[in-house]
A and B are shown apart, each in its own frame.
Chain A
Amino acid sequence: MQHPRSYHISFILIGLALLCSWILNIGSGSVHIPFEETFSILFGGNPKVEAWSYIVWNYRLPKTFTAILVGGGLSLSGLLMQTLFRNPLAGPFVLGISSGASLGAALLLMGMTLFTGIASFSFLGDVSLALAASVGSFLVLSVVMIVAQKVKDTMALLIIGLMFGSITSAIVSVLAYFSSAESLQRFIFWSFGSVGNLTPHQIVLLTGIVFVGLLLSIVSLKPLNAFLLGEHYAQSLGVSLKKTRLVIIIATGILAGGITAFAGPIAFVGLAVPHLTRQIFDTMEHKVLIPAVFLYGAILMLLCDTLAQWPNSASVLPINAITSLVGAPVVIWLLVRKRKMLF
């Protein structure tokens, strides 16, 4: 219109921030590698220590890439859920979607060995892990969606999500009780969350998943905007409710499910990032929010991972703990400062 609010500068800034956090992330890790060495390796130079080249190419670079995919994808799924439920507190973790994914993954990781005695690490295993987690998250999401139709209350919906989380973690506990020590250990490590342990195959698969999720969101740009008015208004604007809801649920399911499958259940990123993004991009227009939320999520994930890798120390903290430590206070701060989080 007359004064189109332009977000070019904000996008340039957030792009620069992404570049900085990427450099920071790739430059830090358990093994100390000087910055200039890291970059000479990236630009094809020969490092002083041969192992450094291996670390940068085979460990740090894939890890930054995964962090971008995981952070961006989770944040995007959070944005989609907040619009779908028209609820500022919706997110893959609080609504039990991540728990659903955990259940799917647990059934596969521990159930497989429990029932068949085979633990598979093949590419097929990766696909089935992604599938199991996606189906798990998709199922919980569908049930929450059905409940949300009946229960209009924001808080009630969150409590229901919490209860789903409890139910799934109870089932997971039962599974854990009966499973072997080895598969239990795999599950525990998985549940800490990590963006660093992915095989090249898994990264390819994850890229595909995030790409599909992004594509489905972009296709739904217009109905997503209409949803901001409420479902009845959206319908009166010519939006096919059932179709749109299905597309958004599928996008959220595969994003949250696929990412949880490979990176573990990562808390609060999906909930907090859309709100943090709206502090900079003061709009509800999904055309702006989808790329902005994706970039912001990627930045946050890179920074959290940098913290988790605690520079120059051998210990790696669980990333799930870091995102909770960063994300939960952000949500509280938003709640207190803005009284009610405006959606």
Chain B
Amino acid sequence: MEKRVQKSLSVCNLSIGYGKNLVGEHINFDLELGTLCAIVGINGIGKSTLLRTMGKFQFKLSGNIKLHDKELDLYSPLDLSKKLSVVLTEPPASKNLTVLELIALGRQPYTNWLSTLSPEDEKHIQISLDAFLLNDLKHRKCHELSDGQLQRVLIARAMAQDTPIILLDEPTTHLDLYHKVQILKMLQQLAHDQQKTVLFTTHEIELAIQLCDKILILDGNNNPFGAPCELIEQNHFEKLFPSEMVQFDAKTGSFKITK
């Protein structure tokens, strides 16, 4: 199958932060459809701030964010909701929603004022349920789900929103290794099979190296971006943590505790 290459998200010389409080600057990267990309970096370096800025939950300080060659600021809330969906660290406010109700909310940008589901909407909901193995859980309430299940539901909701870009803030926290890998593999499938741009923040650098097409390292300096193997070759992971504590082994692509 011929892959259609199209720039879906491009960030140029972006500065992020809160008001006068600068969190990160000189952030540059371009992402195409069908790409899984991780944002890594130490705590407090601005991973979530970057994601929130791209999701338009807070203002950028300077620079450009373009979605399909159009400036993010120029999108109306409704237009943006058809281009970009999010999975946040905050749990859904109401845990009393069923899985089906929650995923159906992802169709809001396309439904009428009564949020009546069309056959098209139901098709998308069913595809999302299938993709994230949620068919058996669909009538469960969210408070009955485990962390891993809830995370799958939230990602399925974003998928049902049917946007070319999906942003996820730390989708693998609080999960055990098996469920971390499960979620990341599902994200990879989502990016590759559905031709979406999937961008997520994570602390699982070793897993990201193995699974992602691109990685953005926020280091508070020039923020290197590229394919995992390129970044390894250029020794960018070594500089991520103080070397007296942990060291990066380029051969295995993993971190070792300095003895």
Q: Which residues of A are interface residues toward B (Cβ below 8 A)?
A: 1, 3, 86, 219, 221-222, 225-230, 232-233, 235-240, 278, 283-285, 287, 342-343
**CB-nearest residue of chain B relative to A231?**
B93
A225 touches B108 (CB 8 A): yes
Q: Known contacts A1-B104, A222-B108: does B115 contact A284 (CB below 8 Å)?
A: no
Q: Can you list 30 contacts pairing A with B, beta carbon distance less than 8 Å?
A: A1-B117, A86-B93, A86-B94, A221-B113, A222-B111, A225-B108, A225-B115, A228-B105, A229-B92, A229-B93, A229-B97, A229-B105, A230-B88, A230-B90, A230-B92, A232-B55, A233-B86, A235-B57, A235-B77, A236-B81, A237-B105, A237-B106, A237-B161, A238-B81, A238-B82, A238-B108, A283-B101, A284-B101, A343-B94, A343-B95
Q: Which of B12-56 contact A (CB under 8 A)?
A: 55-56
A229 touches B102 (CB 8 A): yes
Does B226 lie at the interface of the complex (its beta carbon under 8 Å from any beta carbon of A)? Answer: no
Does B85 lie at the interface of the complex (its beta carbon under 8 Å from any beta carbon of A)? Answer: yes
B101 touches A226 (CB 8 A): no
- How far apart are the CA atoms of A287 and B143 in the complex, in Å? 22
B115 touches A237 (CB 8 A): no
Q: Known contacts A236-B84, A240-B77: does B95 contact A342 (CB below 8 Å)?
A: yes
- How far apart are the CA atoms of A225 and B94 in the complex, in Å? 10
Q: Please tell me which one of the listed residues B90, B101, B109, B138 contacts residue A237 in the complex, with CB atoms under 8 A apart.
A: B109
Q: For chain B, which range describes its interface: under 10, 10 to 19, 20 to 34, or 35 or more residues? A: 35 or more
Does B5 lie at the interface of the complex (its beta carbon under 8 Å from any beta carbon of A)? Answer: no
Interface contacts beyond A238-B77, A343-B93, A343-B94: sample of 9 additional A-B pairs, CB < 8 Å, sorted by A: A1-B104, A228-B93, A236-B55, A237-B106, A237-B108, A238-B109, A239-B77, A343-B95, A343-B96
Does B190 lie at the interface of the complex (its beta carbon under 8 Å from any beta carbon of A)? Answer: no
Does B184 lie at the interface of the complex (its beta carbon under 8 Å from any beta carbon of A)? Answer: no
- How far apart are the CA atoms of A195 and B81 in the complex, in Å? 46
- How far apart are the CA atoms of A85 and B37 in the complex, in Å? 35
Q: Which residues of B are interface residues toward A (Cβ below 8 A)?
A: 55-57, 77-82, 84-86, 88, 90, 92-97, 100-102, 104-106, 108-109, 111, 113-115, 117, 122, 125, 138-139, 143, 161
* B143 proximity list for chain A (CB < 8 A): 342
B55 touches A285 (CB 8 A): no
* A237 proximity list for chain B (CB < 8 A): 81, 105-106, 108-109, 161
* A342 proximity list for chain B (CB < 8 A): 94-96, 143
Interface residue SS majority, chain A: loop
- How far apart are the CA atoms of A342 and B93 in the complex, in Å? 10
A88 to chain B, nearest CB (A): 9
- How far apart are the CA atoms of A285 and B113 in the complex, in Å? 13
A275 to chain B, nearest CB (A): 11
A222 touches B86 (CB 8 A): no
A257 to chain B, nearest CB (A): 26
* A238 proximity list for chain B (CB < 8 A): 77-82, 108-109
- How far apart are the CA atoms of A238 and B32 in the complex, in Å? 24
* A284 proximity list for chain B (CB < 8 A): 94, 96-97, 101
**CB-nearest residue of chain A relative to B77?**
A238
* A1 proximity list for chain B (CB < 8 A): 100, 104, 117, 122, 125, 138
**CB-nearest residue of chain A relative to B86?**
A236
**CB-nearest residue of chain A relative to B167?**
A236
- How far apart are the CA atoms of A176 and B88 in the complex, in Å? 51
**CB-nearest residue of chain B relative to A343?**
B94
**CB-nearest residue of chain B relative to A238?**
B81
B78 touches A226 (CB 8 A): no
